[in-house]
Amino acid sequence: MSPSYFVMKSLFAPRALPLAGAAALCLLAQAASAAPMDFATALQHMDASSDRLAASYLAVNSAAQQRRAIERLGGPSVSLTGAAYAYNANLNLDLNPLGQALPGMLAQLPPQLGGMVAQLPHLPASYTLNRHRTDATASVNAVWPIYLGGASEAARGLADARTREAQADSTRVNDELATLLVQRYFGAQLANRAATLREAALHSIEQHDAAAQKMMDAGVIAKVERLQARSALEDARKSAQKARDDADLAGTALARAARVEERLEPTSPLFVISQAVEPLPYFIDAALAHHPGLAKVAAKKAQAGQLHAAEEALRRPQVFAFGQRELKSGNADWVAGIAVRWTLWDSIDRNALQASSQAKIDQAERTGAQARSDIALLVEKNWLALEQARRQYFAQQAGVDLSAEVLRLRESGLREGTSTTLDLIDAQLNNAKVLTERAQAAHDYVLALAALLESSGLSDEFANYMARADVKVD
């Protein structure tokens, strides 16, 4: 054997750490600087502290309270009325006609009586009567709508539909945030894995660089090969630093999504379900039954229908029972009866209002049909993307095995003098690249699964699919 064989064997045989060992050390170092958290816990944190989600819950509660407020709309109403008052009234009486008629009246009296009356003072030309008083009054009033043409039912139906719309919006927000957390959580997991692989490769390349320096000092390799190894080391150091910066940023984004202060270390691994999930019709049927977008369109259509019913109610007569009684002892005043009100004509064009509300119903129907078509297409797109990601992941197994074998042969060749340091460095970098690409395929699978479940209205089922996974990218 050549002397270079023994030199290289002595330099590379006692390698401090293989690639997997360096990766483990990097993981331990990162775990010490970040708070570990699994996906379920991160989801609980987000649900408990998300301002956007809390706002959607408050919107639902507000709509529900409005519906509760008009529960007894159309029922009787009773009110008390009280007043304190003072008045001063003057009445002027004209006495001239009476004074002019009095002489004729005296002439008809007996002489003795007429003479006595004639001696009385003359009547004034006018007289003012004055009346003033301070008092208080109170009464109880009752009104009971007997028939409103369906207006009360339409108002309650409108409030119900608005509550369902708020619930659909809240569900949509919850699903979007769940998908966002999946993206942030497993994106941080992928970034950590990529950084770990790059740092492990850098650790090995640093060993090879030191060994290459010793080999050049021993005259085994040329200076150009030594410089190539140094250049590869600098490139690997830059790549590792960038990968770690990306991982730190992804951890910060995850902490923001989970609403925690410290940077998080995701502990739930990337995963793949080796078998295909349920067929496409299953998810389309689920979307048509549970998608919040369709629920909102249905609520909008119900609102338009109730507004149309309210417009029709205004065309019908309204019947009320009413009553009022003074609150005082003794002979109190009271009144009771039934009133009918029927608007025969007013300044508003009722036919135009009816046509407008009917157009709203037709618009909601067309919007719903388009939404069902779009959602079915979106579900199909996400289902195909999920299947593509699954096949892509398993198709990469051959490349992973080939990369590992090339790395093994390069290590063996370097010890035997048939490979160069640069060949081994290239094999290590390629192996890290292939492993990262396979983790990327698993990441694509997880994101495609989250998108499929969201478009099907099944975001709450993500944890169940996660538990079904039989491939974990640890």
User: Tell me, what's the pLDDT at 95?
Assistant: 64
Is-contact 327 138, C-beta < 8 A? Answer: yes
- Binning pLDDT at 50, 70 and 90, where does residue 4 land? very low
Tell me the mean pLDDT in the region 155-170: 94
Query: Which sign does the torsion angle of CA 386, 391, 396, 401 carry?
Result: positive
In this model, does residue 93 exceed pLDDT 80? no
Q: Is 343 within a domain?
A: no
User: Tell me, what's the pLDDT at 102?
Assistant: 58
CA distance linking residue 178 with residue 191, whole number of Å: 20
CA distance linking residue 240 with residue 198, whole number of Å: 5
Q: Is 297 within a domain?
A: yes
Q: Is 340 within a domain?
A: no
User: Tell me, what's the pLDDT at 31?
Assistant: 44
User: Tell me, what's the pLDDT at 388?
Assistant: 96
The two three-digit tokens of residue 442, written as one number? 């698993």
The two three-digit tokens of residue 75, written as one number? 């029922």
In this model, does residue 161 exceed pLDDT 60? yes
Residues belonging to the chain: 474
Q: Is 425 within a domain?
A: yes
In this model, does residue 426 exceed pLDDT 90? no
CA 294, chain centre distance (Å)? 15
Spatial CA neighbour of 210 closest among 443, 16, 434 = 16
The two three-digit tokens of residue 378, written as one number? 């979106």
Tell me the mean pLDDT in the region 327-349: 86
Q: How far apart are the first and last CA of the chain?
A: 42
User: Tell me, what's the pLDDT at 24?
Assistant: 45
DSSP H helices, 70-145, are 96-107, 111-118
User: Tell me, what's the pLDDT at 96?
Assistant: 66
CA distance linking residue 311 with residue 295, whole number of Å: 24
Q: What is the pLDDT of residues 41-65, one digit of tens each?
A: 999 999 998 899 999 999 999 999 9
Q: Is 107 within a domain?
A: no
Q: Bigger pLDDT: 295 or 228?
A: 295
- Binning pLDDT at 50, 70 and 90, where does residue 130 land? confident
Tell me the mean pLDDT in the region 129-134: 82
Q: Is 149 left (phi over 0), alpha (psi -120 to 50) or beta?
A: left
Q: Structural domain tally of the chain?
A: 1
User: Tell me, what's the pLDDT at 401?
Assistant: 93
Q: 3-state DSSP helix/strand/coil percent for the chain, to nearest 5?
A: 70, 15, 20
Q: What is the pLDDT of residues 442-455, one digit of tens each?
A: 999 999 999 999 99
Is-contact 186 446, C-beta < 8 A? Answer: yes
Instruction: Name the least confident of 4-18, 31-45, 191-205, 379-393.
Output: 4-18
Is-contact 446 182, C-beta < 8 A? Answer: yes
Range of the domain at 169: 3-75+150-315+350-473
In DSSP notation, 329-391 reads SSS--EEEEEEEE-----SS-HHHHHHHHHHHHHHHHHHHHHHHHHHHHHHHHHHHHHHHHHH
User: Tell me, what's the pLDDT at 328?
Assistant: 82
Q: Which residues contact 216 (CB under 8 A, 6 or more apart)?
A: 222, 223, 225, 226
- CATH code for the domain of 294: 1.20.1600.10
Q: Is 113 within a domain?
A: no
Q: At what angle do helices 151-217 and 292-313 cross, to 10 degrees?
A: 160
Q: Is 32 within a domain?
A: yes
Pairing of strands 471-473, 270-272: antiparallel
> Given strand 77-94, what is the order of strands in its sheet?
77-94, 126-147, 318-326, 334-341
In this model, does residue 12 exceed pLDDT 60? no
Q: Is 278 within a domain?
A: yes
CA distance linking residue 29 with residue 288, whole number of Å: 48
CA distance linking residue 394 with residue 153, whole number of Å: 59
In the chain, the percentage of residues whose pLDDT exceeds 90 is 50
Pairing of strands 126-147, 318-326: antiparallel
